[in-house]
Amino acid sequence: MPVVLLDTNIWVSAFISPHGFPARLVDAWISSEFDVVVSAPLLEEIADVLARPRLQNKYRYTAKEIEQLLRLLYRRAMYVVPEGNLHLCRDPDDDLVLETAILGGAQYVVSRDDDLKGDSELIAQMRARGIEILSVQHFLDRLQEST
Which pLDDT value is given to residue 100?
96
pLDDT tens-place string over residues 41-96: 999 999 999 999 999 999 999 999 999 999 999 999 999 999 878 777 676 677 88
pLDDT tens-place string over residues 97-141: 999 999 999 999 999 988 888 888 889 999 999 999 999 999 999
Sign of the C-alpha dihedral computed for residues 6, 8, 10 and 16 taken in this order = positive
pLDDT tens-place string over residues 1-43: 999 999 999 999 999 999 999 999 999 999 999 999 999 999 9
> How does 46-60 read in b/e, with b if 16+ C-beta sit within 10 Å?
beebbeeeeebeeee
Q: Tell me whether residue 87 is exposed, middle or buried, using C-beta atoms within 10 angstroms of its C-beta: 0 to 12, 13 to 18, 19 or more.
A: exposed
Which pLDDT value is given to residue 88?
77
Q: What is the CATH number of the domain that holds 135?
A: 3.40.50.1010
DSSP state of 7: P
**Quick check: 147 pLDDT over 70?**
no
Domain that holds residue 70: 3-146
Q: Tell me whether residue 135 is exposed, middle or buried, using C-beta atoms within 10 angstroms of its C-beta: 0 to 12, 13 to 18, 19 or more.
A: middle
Contact (Cβ atoms closer than 8 angstroms) between residue 20 and residue 13: yes
Q: How many domains does the chain have?
A: 1
- DSSP track, 104-129: TT-SEEE---HHHHT-HHHHHHHHHT
